[in-house]
Structure 1
Amino acid sequence: MGYDVAKGEEFERKAEKKIKGWGMFGSKYEDAADLYQKAANSYKLSKSWDRAASTYIKLASCNLKSDSKHEAATAYVDSANCYKKISPKQAISCLDQADIGDLCEQEKDMDQAITYFERAADLYQIEEANTLSSQCRQKVAEFSAQIGKYHIAGEIYEQVAGYALSNNLLKYGARGHLLNAGICQLCKGDIIAINNALERYQASDLDPTFSRTLAFDEEDAAKFTIAVKEFDSITKLDAWKTTLLRRVKEHIKAKELEEDDLT
C-alpha cells in the first residue's frame, strides 16, 4: 500500500509540474490529465479513497481546460464512486458539479445518461433525499423509454407514482407518472399487459378519465389519432409523449397493413 501511495504522489507532483511549466495551452493539460489518471489509479490500489477522489477532481479540471467535457464528466463520476465509500454527501456533490446526466443527454448518449442518473438516485437515497432520488429515477425512465426499454421505464414510473401517492405534497403528480407508465405499456403493444396496468391504476382512485385516455382500438390508427388529439386539447402533450405515441400509431398502422396483406 505504501508503494502505491508513493507512486500516486509522484504522478501527482509531475502533473502539477506539467501544468506550471511551458507548453501549448491544450497539450499541457492533456499531459497533466494522463498523470492525474495514473495518480488516482495508484491511490485506488492503496484504498486511499479520499486522495483518489480529490485527484479525480483535479483530472476533471484538466479535462475541462482542454475542452474534453465528456472526459471531465467521467472523472467526476470516478470521484463520486471513490467518495461513495467514505462520504455519500461528497459523492452527491461531485455528481451535481458534473451535471453528468444532462451532458450525456445533450450528446444523445442515453445509455450513459441512464447509468449516471441511476448512480445519482442511489446516492440520494442513501442520504434519504427521496424526492431528489425520485427525480433522478424519472430521468432513468424517460431515457429508457426513448431507447425502447419500455418495460423498465413503465416499472420505474409506477414506482415513482407510488412514492408520490405516499407524499401529500406530491400525490397530485401521481396521475402524470401513471400516464407515462401507461404510454410505455402502449409502446409494448401487449393488450393484456395494458388492461392489467389499467386495473392497477384505477385502484389508485385516480381521475376516471385516465383509463379512457389510455384505452384504444389496437386495430384502428384513425381512432387512436382522434383519441390522442382529444387528450392533447385538454392536456398538452410534451415532446416525450408525442414521440412515444407516434411510435404506437406507427405500430398500429403497420399491423393494419399486415392484416390487409393477408386478406
Structure 2
Amino acid sequence: MSDHISKGEDCEKQAEKKLNGWQLFGSKLEDAADLYEKAANFYKLGKSWDQAGAVYVKLAECFIKLDSKHDAANAYADAGHCYKKTNTTECVSRLEQALEIFMELGRLSMSARYCKEIAELYEKERNLEKAMVYYEKAADLYQGEEVSSSENQCNLKIAEFAAELEQYQKAIELYEEVARQSLNNHLLKSGAKRHLLNAGICQLCKNDIVAISNALDKYQDMDPTFAGSREHRLLADLASSIDEEDVEKFTDAVKEFDSLTKLDALKTTLLVRVKEMLKAKELEEDDLT
C-alpha cells in the first residue's frame, strides 16, 4: 500500500513541477493531466481515498483550462467517488460540480444520474429533505429524457419521504401519478394497486373521511379491478373504523391484511400514526361522557 502511495506522491510532484515550470514543446497542462491521472490511480491502489480525490480535483482543473469540459466533469465525478468512502460533504460538492458541467453540455441523463447519486447519499444519512430535493431534480431530468422507469423510481422515493415528513398531499399526488402510469404499462400494471394503497393510507393520515371516500371512488375509476382487491377492502375497512371510531376494528383489519401480505415499514409507520389519532379521539370522547 505504502509503495503505491509513494508512487502517487511522486507523480503528483512531477505534475506540479510541469505546471510551474517552463516548457518549449507540447502542452504542460496535458502532461500534468497525464501525471495527475497516474497519481490518482496509484492513490486508489493504495486506498488513500482523500489523496486520490484531491488529485482528481486538480485533474479536473487542468481539463477546464484545456477547455475539455466533458473530461473535467468525469474527473470531478471520479473525485466524488473517492471522497464517497471518507467525506460525504466533499463527495456531494464534487458530484455537484460534475452534474453542473454535464447540464451545461446538455448531457441530461448523466446529470440525472449524479442527482440521484447525491439523493441516495442524503437518504443514507437520513437527511430526507435534501434527499427529496435531489430526487426531484433527477425525476425532472429523467422526464425530460423520457426515461419513465427511472422517473417513477425517483417519484416513489419522494412520495415515501413526503409521507414520512407528514407532507401527505404531496405523497398522495405522486403515488396516484405513478399508479396512473403503471396502469398504462402492461408490465407494471400489477404494481398499481400497491401505489394506490399507499396513496389511500396517506389519505387516512389526513383524517378526512369525505376525502377518503372520494379517493376510493377515484381509485376504482382509475383501476376497475381495484374494487375487488384486498387493498381496497383494507382501505374501506379502515375508513369505516375511523368513521365509527372503532380502534379494535381498525386493528383487526390491519392484522388480517398483514397475515396475507406483509406490511412494509412505511405502511406500518403510517398506520400506527392513524391508529394513535383514532385512540386519541376515542379517549377524548370518553372524557366528554
Name the TM tier (shorter chain): 0.7 to 0.9
Q: Which whole-Å CA distance do the structure 2 matches of 1:104 and 1:170 have between them?
A: 28
Query: 2:258 maps to what in 1?
Result: 232
Q: Which whole-Å CA distance do the structure 2 matches of 1:71 and 1:26 have between them?
A: 12
Q: Which whole-Å CA distance do the structure 1 matches of 2:54 and 2:110 have between them?
A: 27
Q: 1:226 Cα shift?
A: 0.7
Q: 1:134 Cα shift?
A: 0.8
| Alignment TM-score, normalising by the size of structure 1 | 0.78
1:211 is the counterpart of 2:232: yes
Contact 2:73 2:102 in 1 (8 A): yes
Q: 1:185 Cα shift?
A: 0.5
What secondary structure does 1:128 align onto?
A: coil
**AA matched with 1:247:** R
> What fraction of aligned residue pairs are identical, expressed as a percent?
44
Query: 1:64 maps to what in 2?
Result: 84
* Number of corresponding residues: 245
Structure 1 portions without partners, runs of 5+: 1-8
**AA matched with 1:258:** E
Instruction: Supply the RMSD in Å over aligned alpha carbons.
Output: 3.5
Contact 1:164 1:170 in 2 (8 A): yes
Query: 2:167 maps to what in 1?
Result: 149
1:134 is the counterpart of 2:152: yes
**AA matched with 1:69:** T
Q: Which whole-Å CA distance do the structure 2 matches of 1:81 and 1:88 have between them?
A: 10
Larger Rg: 2
Structure 2 portions without partners, runs of 5+: 1-28, 41-47
Contact 1:121 1:132 in 2 (8 A): yes
Which of 54, 71, 94 is equivalent to 2:114?
A: 94
- Bigger mean CA deviation after superposition, 227-236 or 53-62: 53-62
1:165 is the counterpart of 2:183: yes
Contact 1:182 1:197 in 2 (8 A): yes
What secondary structure does 2:186 align onto?
A: coil
Q: 1:51 Cα shift?
A: 6.5
Alignment of 1:188-207 (within 5 A): 188-204=206-222, 205-207=224-226
Q: Which whole-Å CA distance do the structure 2 matches of 1:49 and 1:191 have between them?
A: 55
CA pair 48-26 structure 1, distance change in 2 beyond 3 A: closer
